[in-house]
Structure 1
Amino acid sequence: MSEADFATYKIIIIGDESVGKTSLVMRIVDNQFSYSMPITVGVDNYSRILQINSTTKLNLNIWDTAGQERFSVIAPSYFRGSKAAVIVYDITREESFKNVEYWAKHITEYASSDIKVMLIGNKLDLEDKRKVLKKIALDYARSYNMIFFETSCLNATNVETAFVSLAKELHHIDRKPEHIENCPEAIKEKFKSIILDHKTDNTVKKKRKFC
C-alpha cells in the first residue's frame, strides 16, 4: 500500500450490554453523546475517515454489535473480514471486565488469526465508582498484545486518541513487507480467567498473542 492510498478497515465493537459501545461509536463518528442511546439490536454500521498523516487517509468501517445473547448468533458472519476488534467494558462493573474473556474467546474462534485487538475501559468520568483497577486491565491487555485505553464518551476523553492509535497500527501492519498472515501457535492458546484481586501481580500467566 502506497503512502497516498485510501484504505478501509472493518472494525467490530464487542462487549457486554450497557458498557457504552454505541456511545463510543457515536463519539468517534459524530462527536456526539446522549444519555438515552437506543439498545443495539443486531449490528449497526458506521464510518469515520481519519487523516493519519499529510498524505494518508484511512476509513474506519465500524460495526457496533448487540450484547452477549444476540451477538453469539451472528458472530461468525460479522467477524469475517474484520481487521480489528474493540472489546469494551465498564470500569464501574466488575462483571463486564470478567466477561472480556468471553469476548476474547469469540475472537479466537471466529476472527482471522492476524486481527488486531484493542481493549477499552469505558466510563472514565465515573472514576469515583470504579470497580476495575486500571493496572489489572492494563496487565491483561499487555499479556495478550492488545492496545489498551480507558475512555469517557461523556467528555470525549481518549476516544479520538484510541481510534487514531488503532488506525495507525493497522496502517503500519499493512505496510510491513513480510506481514504474517497466520499464527497457528497463537490460535491454540486459550484465555485464562480474569483475576480482579489487585494484590495479585501475575494476572495472566499464559499469553495468547494476537498477530
Structure 2
Amino acid sequence: MGNRNEEDYNFVFKVVLIGESGVGKTNLLSRFTRNEFSHDSRTTIGVEFSTRTVMLGTAAVKAQIWDTAGLERYRAITSAYYRGAVGALLVFDLTKHQTYAVVERWLKELYDHAEATIVVMLVGNKSDLSQAREVPTDEARMFAENNGLLFLETSALDSTNVELAFETVLKEIFAKVSKQRQNSTRTNALTLGSEPGPGEKRACCISL
C-alpha cells in the first residue's frame, strides 16, 4: 500500500478517532498522515482532519481521518462529527485503565450517531510503555471480539502497528463497499464514500 497523488482517487472514506483525552489520538493521526509525532501534549480545541491517499489493490482510497482535538473532554462532540463516517478507531491508553474503562460508553455514543455498518477498531495505544501497562492485551482483545470490533495495540511514538491499524480498517471498509457495489448499482456517498466520474473530483460531502 503506497502513496500517490492526493487528487487522484476513486473513493473517499471518512474515519473518526474517538476516546478519552490524552490517549494519543492526535499523534496516531499525525503519524499516519504525515509520519510525525509531537511530544507537546497541548490540546487543540476544535475538530481537525487530515487526509492520506492509499492504494487498496488497484483502487486509490482517500482516507479522511477526523480527530476530536480536545472536544471529548468537554463532551462537546456533535452528531455532525460522526455523520458519514464509515470507520472508527476507538483509542485507549493501555497504561491508564480509566481510559479503557469508558470504552463501552464511547462505543454506545458511536453507535447512537453513526451508521450501524461502521467498521470499528479498538486500539490500545502507547505499547512502547509496556512496563507501565494497566490493561492486559487479552482483556482488551476479548472485549473487542465480544463486541464485533477489530483490535490492535499501537505506539504512535515508535510507529508500531499505526500503519497496520489504519490499513486494516480501510481494507475492511473497502471490502464492504465492494460487496455492496456488487449488490447494488447505486452507491450512497454518505455511507460508502464517493467515486468521481471522468474529470470529476469529489471530496467528502460532510460539513459541520
Q: Please confirm whether the aligned pair reaches a TM-score higher than 0.5, indicating the same fold.
A: yes
- Compute the displacement of 1:75 (Å): 2.5
Q: Give unmatched runs, 5+ long, in structure 1.
A: 180-211
Number of residue pairs aligned between Structure 1 and Structure 2: 175
Counterpart of 2:66 in structure 1 is: 63
The Cα of 1:178 is off from its aligned counterpart by: 4.0
* Aligned twin of 1:15: 19
Q: Which amino acid aligns with 1:58?
A: V
Q: Point out where structure 2 has 5 or more consecutive residues left out of the alignment.
A: 1-7, 185-208
Q: How does 1:39-188 map to 2 (within 5 A)?
A: 39-53=43-57, 55-65=58-68, 66-70=70-74, 72-176=75-179, 177-178=182-183
Which structure 1 residue ranges, 4+ long, deviate > 4 Å from structure 2?
A: none
Name the CA distance, whole Å, in 1 between partners of 2:31 and 2:53.
13
- Distance in 2, matches of 1:175 and 1:83, equals 13
The whole-number CA distance in structure 2 between the counterparts of 1:104 and 1:156 is 25
User: Is the 8 Å Cα contact of residues 85 and 118 (structure 1) preserved in structure 2?
Assistant: yes
- TM-score normalized by structure 1? 0.78
Query: Percent identity among equivalent residues?
Result: 35
Structure number with the bigger relative contact order (C-alpha 8 A, sep ≥ 6) is: 2
Q: CA RMSD in A?
A: 1.8
CA-to-aligned-CA distance 1:73-127 (integer Å, 9 cap, x gap): 3321111111111110000000000010111010121111111111100000000
- Give the distance between the partners of 1:120 and 1:178, measured in 2 at CA: 31
Q: Which residue of 2 aligns with 1:34?
A: 38
Q: Would the alpha carbon gap of residues 26 and 142 (structure 1) be closer, same or farther in structure 2, given more than 3 Å must change?
A: same
Question: Which whole-Å CA distance do the structure 2 matches of 1:28 and 1:37 have between them?
Answer: 18
Q: Judging changes above 3 Å, is the alpha-carbon distance between structure 1 residues 150 and 34 closer, same or farther for their aligned structure 2 residues? A: same
Length-normalised TM-score, structure 2: 0.79
Separation (CA, whole Å) in 2 of partners of 1:28 and 1:150 = 15
User: Offset at 1:145?
Assistant: 1.1
